[in-house]
Structure 1
Amino acid sequence: MINPNWLQSFCTLVEVGHFTRTAERLHMTQSGVSQQVRKLEEQLGCALLVRQGKRFTLTDAGERLYREGRQLVLALGNLEQRVAADPACEGLVRVMSPGSVGLKLYRRLLALQRRHPALVIDYRFAPNADVERAVAVGGVDIGFMTARASQADVSIEPVAKEPLLLVTPAAVVEPDWETLSRLGFIDHPDGAHHAGLLLGANYAEFEHVQQLEKAGFSNQINLILEPVSLGLGFTVLPAHAVEAFDHPSRVRVHPLAHPVTETLYLAAHRRKAMLNRVATVVAEALKHL
């Protein structure tokens, strides 16, 4: 019989993709993770990984073990949860979302933790695809996404709408197409998507974001408006990210003729019961969306 601890280490390694970060997540040493994977390989009589330093690729056998093994790990985790106590305000709750909604929620959830010190909030910022993947494999308890789920194991529920906003330096009064073209676009990981939605709905000249000169890029949600505030370009961002900016007087948000919003979805594992402490966090989050 396969040791469930070895199997959990292997599945976590596949999901994280890196030995060192897997060891940190499991509160183990890197050598301990490597040893457990080697024991699995010895027991099964085949290689599971092709190692490349601290990274790796899966063999065919490794892929098969992960597909079958993650279901067993999830089932064992659910068994532990079902037989254990389920208090509403104690324990770890793992949440993941894109950056904009994270800026809106994280401080509110920390305030909830201060009211209930036995509740522990683990909040990760990530793109929609990573959020969905983490929910599907049980890496987080809940996720918030601005896209519909594509994996069968993930259920979603629409919970809010978030406007997309055109943001320029404060000196810009009329954001006509000529002005935007002259400024250039401050890009970010969702920049092309957001620009396509908002600019496409409001500017006849817009065809794709490549029409605009790229004036900068940041993948840190709380820094995207810094170059805009310095007059270096304009951008399109969700409202929560704009509201969180520390220097609102240095930028200008422009109402447009055709507003565009993104739907925000609550994502959870379809076959995993929601714990009481997770429900507490969800209820608090929904108050602020």
Structure 2
Amino acid sequence: MTSKSTLAEVSCTSVAAESLLLVTPETVKDPDWETLMALSFIDHTDGCHHANLLLGENYPEFQHSHQFPKKGYSNQIGLMLEPVSIGLGFTVLPAHAVEAFHKPEHIKARQLPNPVSETLYLCSRRHRGCQKRMETVITEARRWL
């Protein structure tokens, strides 16, 4: 999870932090405000949330992701960067999603001057033991994070 649960019966532990990246077509040289407005926003399941976090810290003109014209939407992680790779717009994604894209030569992932990360939480029911097989899964997940 990327936010702590508000439920009293749920315990949340921070396990990692992941950078959010601005992703543009490879041809974009300088992602200034005017360029982003001209490109349009490629939205996804967490697109508005990610854009609000990263762009709000880096562009004084930014108020909300709805300022940008939208040219696409995807809820499949493997397809989120396809519209960006063919020049239709830009998006904001966690680093792992960018690294998984199969055509990295067609996109440019950018760490902005004011970096923003999302904390990843491991959540479980408070006061309840963890099964051995889940401990194995958790150990392996932490190793990869």
| Larger helix percent | 1
Q: AA paired with 1:280?
A: T
Matches within 5 A, 1:19-38: none
Q: Which has the higher strand share?
A: 2
Q: 2:132 aligns with which of 272, 276, 279?
A: 276
Q: CA deviation at 1:272?
A: 2.2
1:1-289 mapped onto 2 (5 Å cutoff)? 145-289=1-145
Separation in structure 1 between the aligned mates of residue 37 and residue 18 of structure 2, nearest angstrom: 26
Distance 1:242 1:170 in 2: 13
**How far, CA to CA, are the matches of 1:209 and 1:274 in structure 2?**
40
Aligned Cα root-mean-square deviation (Å):
0.8
SS at 1:252 equivalent: strand
| Residues in 2 aligned to 1:193 and 1:272: alpha-carbon distance in whole angstroms | 32
Could you tell me how far apart the structure 2 residues matched to 1:283 and 1:254 are? 31
Structure 1: state its 5+ residue gaps: 1-144
The normalised TM-score by structure 1 is 0.49
- Measured in 1, the distance between the counterparts of 2:68 and 2:42 equals 10
TM-score normalised over the length of structure 2: 0.97
Question: 3-state DSSP class of the match of 1:199?
Answer: helix
2:78 match: secondary structure: helix
4+ runs of 1 displaced by more than 4 Å? none
The structure with more radius of gyration: 1
Structure 2 unmatched runs, 5+: none
The letter for the 1-side match of 2:93 is L
**Residues 110-147 of structure 1 deviation map (CA, whole Å, 9 limit, x = unaligned):** xxxxxxxxxxxxxxxxxxxxxxxxxxxxxxxxxxx001
Q: Secondary structure at the match of 2:123?
A: strand
How far the C-alpha of 1:198 sits from its partner, in A, is 0.3
C-alpha offsets along residues 1-23 of structure 1, whole Å, 9 cap, x if unaligned?
xxxxxxxxxxxxxxxxxxxxxxx
- 1:173 maps to amino acid: K
